[in-house]
Amino acid sequence: MTDRMRFETAAIHAGQEPDPATGAAVVPIYQTSTFVQDEVGVHKGYEYSRTANPTRSALERCLAALEGSGEALAFGSGMAAITTLALTLRSGDRVLLPDDVYGGTYRLFARVLGDLGISFATVDVTDLDAVERQLQAGAALLLAESPTNPLLKIADLAALGDLCRAHGCRFAVDNTFATCFLQRPLEHGADVVVYSATKYLGGHSDLVAGALVTADADFADRLRFRQNAAGAIPGPFDSWLLLRGLKTLAPRLRAHCANAAMVASWLASHPRVRRVNYPGLDTDPGHAVATRQMSASGEPLYGGMVSFELGSEDEALEVCRGTRLFFLGESLGGVESLIEHPGRMTHASLAGSGLEVPPGLVRLSVGIEHVEDLIADLDHALGPAR
């Protein structure tokens, strides 16, 4: 956010001045691959849309403003952003990942980057002693998530940042679940923030995109060079859709968080539910750290994701089949509520890794429908106590 603009204002105005050519109030979709040059090497700042495109540039300025500082790069997906971050590594480097890391990130490191000589270890990012032991064994990058996916564990980002700095390890935070409205990892010592913008930043389940934000200008140049070399960019239309989604990030997130808090409390009192993972519950092990860390909006907000455990995989699958308003589907962060079974869906790529999620776990992305309708839907799917 700039000094002059608060978050809600930056979301609507940062990088989005009226179009100088026409006065268009909304940044146009510059649907062009190339830009005419006045003479060789003389142009208006744009040559070819893989390198830069004005719609994407507006998006990147807005993303950087919302993160509070630094430079942003927009990508064609969250995995494209993570892959480009990984392209800053070298053969022989070792990476640390959360032990309940997003399955796609795990797959990239376990089944693709290993072949290129980049190794990884997983660690419970809430256990600082365990993280320190892993850092002592040598690591070039810690890619943490907080809240983690799907167990919603809370990592103490400032403490991880201190440990990484002490051991010369780059510290990246996947902020997909919290977003910059709730939590700004750069302010807690992160070197780079990672997003699947497909989720809350876009907010309407109608695009796939990613982002990296860093306050280190040299590192931003290295990332930009690799992004242009590898080509992992979003097109102008998706950039525009994402820019439009960002405008309502604050009011959407407030509504997601309010609904999720009510759904989590309701689930916590349901006789069939064995455990609820939601950092907003004061019984949650991450509650104290989350209250401090997820307060970027000026008040603690704990996100729109909730997961809970039932007694068995069969019970979890039955509940996933039984909702009507909560659509059964992967992804998260859209205005509509989603339900999924991480073990069989988003985290299926962890099968056989020793990092499998509990079989009775169900994950909810709580949307912004009326909360009483959402609770009635879950009540119907869960049925009476058994």
Q: Is 176 in the site for ligand PLP (CB under 6 A)?
A: yes
Place of tokens 């509650």: 287
Stretch that binds ligand PLP, among 77-85, 185-193, 224-232, 363-371 (CB under 6 A): 77-85
DSSP 326: S
Q: Is 329 in the site for ligand PLP (CB under 6 A)?
A: no
Q: Is 174 in the site for ligand PLP (CB under 6 A)?
A: yes
Contact in structure between 142 and 171 (CB atoms under 8 Å): yes
Fill in the amino acid letter for 347. H
**What values do phi and psi take at 80, rounded to 5?**
-65, -40
30 labelled catalytic: no
Q: What is the spatial distance between Cα 364 and Cα 362, in angstroms, rounded to a whole number?
A: 7
Selected binder of ligand PLP within 49, 77, 205, 297 (CB under 6 A): 77
In the set 61, 153, 184, 199, the catalytic residue is 199
Q: Is 340 in the site for ligand PLP (CB under 6 A)?
A: no
Instruction: Give the C-alpha distances (Å, rounded to integers) separating 246 from 175, 230, 233.
Output: 15, 26, 18
Place of tokens 């996947």: 174
- Judged by beta carbon, residue 79 or residue 253, the one nearer ligand PLP is 79
| Minimum distance from residue 196 beta carbon to ligand PLP (Å) | 3
| Minimum distance from residue 333 beta carbon to ligand PLP (Å) | 8
| Minimum distance from residue 331 beta carbon to ligand PLP (Å) | 6
Selected binder of ligand PLP within 208, 260, 289, 378 (CB under 6 A): 208
Considering only residues 2 through 61, tell me which ones interact with ligand PLP, judged by CB under 6 A.
none
Selected binder of ligand PLP within 149, 205, 297, 337 (CB under 6 A): 149
Instruction: Name the 3-class secondary structure at 166.
Output: helix
Calculate the CA 120 to chain-centre distance.
21
* 199 Cβ contact list (under 8 Å, min separation 6): 78, 176, 177, 331, 332, 333, 334
Q: Is 196 in the site for ligand PLP (CB under 6 A)?
A: yes
Place of tokens 């907080």: 146
Stretch that binds ligand PLP, among 44-52, 102-110, 296-304, 366-374 (CB under 6 A): 102-110
In the set 50, 94, 224, 272, the catalytic residue is 50
| Minimum distance from residue 146 beta carbon to ligand PLP (Å) | 10
Q: What is the spatial distance between Cα 372 and Cα 123, in angstroms, rounded to a whole number?
A: 38
174 labelled catalytic: yes
107 labelled catalytic: no
Q: What is the spatial distance between Cα 302 and Cα 157, in angstroms, rounded to a whole number?
A: 15
Q: What is the spatial distance between Cα 313 and Cα 4, in angstroms, rounded to a whole number?
A: 51
Question: How many CA atoms are closer than 13 Å to the CA of 137, on its beta-carbon side?
Answer: 14
DSSP 350: G
| Minimum distance from residue 346 beta carbon to ligand PLP (Å) | 6
Selected binder of ligand PLP within 15, 70, 161, 210 (CB under 6 A): 210
DSSP 141: E
- Judged by beta carbon, residue 73 or residue 382, the one nearer ligand PLP is 73
The helix (run of H) or strand (run of E) holding residue 195 is: strand 192-196
Selected binder of ligand PLP within 54, 70, 78, 367 (CB under 6 A): 78
| Minimum distance from residue 143 beta carbon to ligand PLP (Å) | 9
Q: Is 84 in the site for ligand PLP (CB under 6 A)?
A: no
Q: What is the spatial distance between Cα 277 and Cα 264, in angstroms, rounded to a whole number?
A: 8
In the set 30, 56, 93, 102, the catalytic residue is 102
- Judged by beta carbon, residue 177 or residue 266, the one nearer ligand PLP is 177
Size of the site for ligand PLP (CB under 6 A): 14
- Judged by beta carbon, residue 71 or residue 145, the one nearer ligand PLP is 145
| The two three-digit tokens of residue 327, written as one number | 């659509």
Give 249-280 as a DSSP string.
HHHHHHHHHHHHHHHHHHHHT-TT--EEE-TT
- Judged by beta carbon, residue 170 or residue 347, the one nearer ligand PLP is 347
| The two three-digit tokens of residue 72, written as one number | 């942003």
Residues taking part in catalysis: 50, 102, 174, 199
Sites of contact with ligand PLP (CB under 6 A): 77-79, 102, 104-105, 145, 149, 174, 176, 196, 198, 208, 210
